[in-house]
């Protein structure tokens, strides 16, 4: 499952320890994601229920990073 430059849309299901989030993508796949460094550095709040854009890892399709809120 490859992602494009814009990322895939999804909804945050759960906030996990260590700054990780469980996200359900619009395709129905659930992945574990972390926010990008600029979002973490600027204290962007990501809450359960938020719509986010996720870039999937090329190595592990079950992991990704949150690149923005929608």
**Is residue 7 in some structural domain?**
yes
Assign 3-class secondary structure to the chain.
CCCCCCCEEEEEEEEEHHHEEEEEECCCCEEEEEECHHHHHCCCCCCCCCEEEEEECCCCCCEEEEEEEC
pTM of the model: 0.84
Torsions phi, psi of 48, nearest 5?
-60, 130
In a domain, 67, yes or no: no
How many domains does one find in the chain? 1
The separation between CA 56 and the C-alpha centre of its own chain, rounded to angstroms, equals 8
In a domain, 62, yes or no: no
On whether residue 46 sits in a domain, the answer given is: yes
Q: pLDDT tens, position by position, for the chain (70 residues)?
A: 444 456 899 999 999 999 899 999 999 999 999 998 876 667 778 999 999 999 999 999 899 999 988 8
Q: Structural domain of residue 10, as residue ranges?
A: 1-52
CA pair distance 46, 62, nearest whole angstrom:
19
Residue 57 maps to a domain: no
């Amino acid at each position: 499952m490859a992602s494009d430059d814009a990322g895939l849309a999804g909804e945050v299901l759960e906030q996990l320890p260590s700054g990780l989030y469980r996200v359900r993508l619009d395709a129905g796949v659930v992945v574990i994601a972390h926010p990008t460094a600029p979002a973490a550095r600027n204290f962007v709040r990501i809450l359960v229920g938020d719509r986010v854009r996720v870039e999937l890892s090329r190595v592990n399709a079950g992991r990704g990073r949150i690149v923005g809120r929608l």
